[in-house]
Every structure is written in C-alpha cells, then in structure tokens.
Amino acid sequence: MCSHTGTSRFPSIHILLFLVMLPAAFSFSRPQWILQRVPVVLPQQSESRPAPRFLSQARLNVSSACDPECHKTAPLPSYWDLEQFLAYETLHSDGRLTETAVGLYGYNLASNKSPAYSLAPSEKGQRSHTRRKRQIFGHDGRYSIAGHNFVLKYPFSVAVKLSTGCSGTLVGDRHVLTAAHCVHDGKNYVKGAQKLRVGFLKARQRDLRSPISNLSNHVESGPNVGPIVSEKMKFQWIRAKRTHVPKGWIKGNANDIGMDYDYALLELKKAHKRRHMKLGVSPPSQRLPGRRVHFSGFDNDRPGQLVYRFCQAGEETSDLLYQHCDAQPGASGSGVYARMWDGRRRRWERKVIGVFSGHQWVERQGASQEFNVAVRITPLKYAQICYWIKGNFVDCREG
C-alpha cells in the first residue's frame, strides 16, 4: 500500500532513480526468475463473426461484486472451460471479426490452484474503507516522469497510450499488451477500437523542469540538484493492425470470471523501433523483490505525462494480484513488472508479469472494500500471449 505519512518518507530524485535503474553491481540479493516449462495453447480453426457495432465508450474502470475470497473459492475450471476461456476473437483494422478455437496441450489441471496468500504488513487491519472517488490510498505516491532523458529511457520507454484512453506496454517489436476492457466492454467492441491507435511519447521542445516530480511536491531534491533541461513531450501515433481478446473476458464478463481474462494484445501496422519488455510468468508475490510491483501509465488526471508508481503486492489468487498502488483511470492496461536475476543469461531482467486492470470495490456486510487489481500472467496466459507475438509455440515453451 503506497501510503505515506510525511514528506520525509518520499525518496529524493536520486534515491528514486537508484530504485528504478538499480544496476546489478549495487544489488545485495538475487531474487531469481525461475524458468518453467509452460503448456501449449494452440490455435485451431477460425471462423468469421458478425462485424462489431462500436457503439459504447471505453470504460476506464471495471467493477465486480467478487472479492479475493470469492475468486479464491470459485470452482476450478475444467479443460473444456479453459479452452472456452482461451479461445479468442481477432478484430482486424478493416472491421472484420474472427473467432479462433484453441487446444491445450501439456497442462496439468492440478496446477491451477489459488496460492496461499496473506496481507502485506502495511495492509493489516485496513481492509475496510469507505468508497473513494479517487484511487489514491493515503498520500499520493505517484511520480510524473518528465524529460527526454527519462521518458525515452528503459523501462519507462515501454509505456504507451491507447487512443481509447488506456495505457499499454510494448512486449514485442510491434506488439502492445493492454487490458481487454480498453477495447471491449464485455458485450461489444467500443468506439475507436476499429481505428485504434497507439501513442508514443517523443520530445517536442526544450523546457526547464525537474526530471521527476510528485503531484503533492513531496519528492525532495538532493542538495546539488537544480532545474534540469528537459523537453515537453507529444505523442506520435501508430495504428493497430489487429487486436486479440480472449473469450474469457467476453463470455465471462457478466459472472465475474471475466476479470481473470482482462487482457488483450495489439499488433501494430509497423514496428515501433523501441526496446520492449519481455513477458514472464507471474511468480508468487512472496518471491518478488521487496514484494514490490511496478508500473507506468498515463493517468487521466495528469494529461500528457507518464506516471510511475511502485508498491507492495497484497493478496493474490491464481489469476489476480491485489495491491494498493496509487492509480487513476487511464492507467488501466499498464504492464505490471518486476526485476529479478536471470541465472541462465547471467543478468538482471525486468519482465511483465501482469496487466493493471483498475480499481475494484465490493460491498460486504455494509462496508466497502477497495483494491487495485492486476491480471496475473499465468502459464496458460503466457503461452497464449507469446503465441500471438511469436506465431509459433516452439519459442514459447519456457516462461
């Protein structure tokens, strides 16, 4: 939970950059990515579907009456269920819509169990909240990333903006991972989904500002830090060629299972020529460094700015990760990532382990409970998304 009680608890610019860009030489422990053999999600036949209507506006928030306990105790899906959930629709830029059935191979149903979970220390005794209009928990712990030298530097450079108002993350030379609700409301594709565009921040003109600033001006500059020459930024847009959405989101949106499948992949019409972030199977939150997750997106209360945040992961189910990272609408679709040691390649690696879905609140016994929720990349979802990117399953066997 990213709550802060005083200005002294907010890191300085130097400390924040140290946390984000921390080189291997200064790391004192090595939490490791554990590569595992993942199953195969193989497309079968595809069929044409009626053209979408594109009538409704994209919802930047999603809601559910199902809380973590509800999701944790839900019946385990069968092979047939999973094949139905992982079947997918593809929306083409010319308006055509196809549906593709899938087959699952090498998957053990017994592995699809919700992990044991507990509240992070800072969340104990704070599960009940009154409903808020803003998804900020305590003081605002977000950081606006400004300046050409920072916005265009990895890992911030992988964050992109969708023309429907959401965010996304570069996960391939021409692929963007985002939330399904950014393009589909559970019943039909939203306005702008057919002519979907992806925006990349680029420099527009020189300006004087600090490289990182907090909304509440709580970030303290170091003693020798003055104004830094940076640039005002603008978006450069690339059209999406096709959009993949799992049927689990479309079929399950009315009965809460849809939240588990709130992810979509966009293929761009041309390569973006930026570094992208690799996919990773989401590890249990206890294995994350500091139990922290990170993500950057385009919150709609800070137009034209890239906003970065990190916080401790909280409860989790097999498909969802709950946390109290400060966020606003517009950040939906951001790639949630972690940084750990890759023993095989002998280097530190950031990987996308989830998709930020948005703010969830549920009413239980007259009290409101609030969470920010990310969809975890499970082995099956890794296999599916990787296939969408690579076009084959051979390159998708280890996550």
Q: Which residues are catalytic?
A: 181, 256, 332
CA angle 169–160–394, rounded 5-degree value:
30
Nearest-CA neighbor of 332 among 161, 140, 89?
Answer: 161
Three-class SS of residue 381?
helix
Contacts of 392 (CB under 8 A, 6+ apart): none
Please name every residue paired with 47 in a beta bridge, in sequence order, or none if there are none: 99
DSSP string, 292-342: EEEEEE--TTSTT-EEEEEEEEEEE-SSEEEE-----TT-TTPEEEEEEEE
What residue type is 4 in one-letter code?
H
Q: Can you read off the two tokens belonging to residue 225?
A: 């830090």
**Residue bearing tokens 């044991």:** 116
| Single-letter amino acid, residue 149 | N
Residue with tokens 């692929």: 175
CA 132 from centroid of its chain's CA atoms = 22
Helices marked H in the chain: 13-21, 68-72, 79-86, 148-151, 247-252, 379-390
Gap between the Cα atoms of 9 and 219, Å rounded: 9
Tell me which residue has tokens 């010319």: 94
State the DSSP H helix or E strand holding residue 81, giving kind and residue range, or none if neither: helix 79-86
Q: Are 95 and 51 in contact (CB under 8 A)?
A: yes
Reduced to 3 states, what is the DSSP secondary structure of residue 41? strand
302: its two tokens: 């800070």
